[in-house]
Amino acid sequence: MPNLIEQALEAALVDRFYIGQILVRKTNGGGFVISHRDDQGRGDLKLFQSAEDAIDLTKFDDSGNYRPLKTAPNLQHGWRLQLAILDDLRRSLDYFYPGRLAIFVSWKSSQLQITPLRETLDRQSGMYRIAAKISDKQVNRVVGDFCRSDGGCLRTVLWKRDSRGTVASTRLPPEKFDPAFDQTLTPGSPPPATTPRLIPLLCQEPCNLLVAECRNVVKDETER
Ligand code: SF4
């Protein structure tokens, strides 16, 4: 898999590309520079030079709050990560957005397995088993709030609510389900004149945080 991922990165790296809130650029010397895409043009960025520096850069947002969800749109600003080789780039992006490159490669080769929310909820055990009792109406609201790109999560939702193919939430715009759409943009707004290539952050299965949120909704209701 690492080789396939590096091939995908090389294909995207004609010049530069976006992944989530990150801009990746190739340098003339054959290395790579990563920064927050909002920081383009800033001359006061703190320099880092190891792929492993990404581990700390992803931990907290600009206000110092812990980031439980790495694909939340709150990546901290003010840094620049300079890397020498493609393997460093692959490793660092896996720290910024764990597993997302491998999922992208699987999706590109039509091998990605996608799991509906109800299936994920039905296989929960222990304290999370109760999450499966959430109603369809509640799912619609929870997913619409929790997964939204503006303030929730920058992944493109590929999964459905159930095995019948019901949309995950009618409260999300159609762009939330479109891997070609840049989730940092506002749906319906005119696209920028020029934009780098995009590697989308794909969501192939509801995450543990969403499952926990579903459980909270059910629990709150039963305790009322
Ligand atoms: S379920 Fe997917 S899209 Fe929703 S918050 Fe979790 S990772 Fe993001």
Question: How many Å lie between the centroid of ligand 1 and the Cα of residue 206?
Answer: 6
Q: Tell me how far apart the alpha carbons of residues 130 and 212 are, in angstroms, rounded to a whole number.
A: 10
* Predicted pLDDT at 5: 85
10-20 residue pLDDT tens: 777 777 999 99
Query: Are 85 and 42 within 8 A, CB to CB?
Result: no
Residue nearest to atom 1 of ligand 1 (CA): 206
Q: How many CA within 13 A on the CB side of residue 174? A: 1
**Hey, what domains does the chain have and what are their CATH numbers?**
2-108 (3.30.1360.190), 117-223 (no CATH)
27-76 residue pLDDT tens: 988 899 999 999 998 999 999 999 999 999 999 999 999 999 999 999 99
133-163 residue pLDDT tens: 999 999 999 999 999 999 999 999 999 999 9
Per DSSP, 131 falls in state G
**Which amino acid belongs to residue 21?**
Q
**Which amino acid belongs to residue 92?**
S
Question: How many Å lie between the centroid of ligand 1 and the Cα of residue 214?
Answer: 12
Q: Which residues contact 114 (CB under 8 A, 6 or more apart)?
A: 158, 159, 160, 204, 205
The pLDDT confidence band at residue 209, using thresholds 50, 70 and 90, is: very high
Ligand 1: atom nearest CA of 157 is 3
* Predicted pLDDT at 157: 98
Question: How many Å lie between the centroid of ligand 1 and the Cα of residue 42?
Answer: 31
**Across the strands, what pairs with 34?**
24, 81
* Predicted pLDDT at 166: 98
Q: Tell me how far apart the alpha carbons of residues 138 and 196 are, in angstroms, rounded to a whole number.
A: 38
**Which amino acid belongs to residue 42?**
R
Q: How many percent of the chain have pLDDT more than 70?
A: 100
* Predicted pLDDT at 11: 72
Cα separations in angstroms, 194 against 138, 149, 191: 40, 22, 8
Coil/strand/helix, residue 35: strand
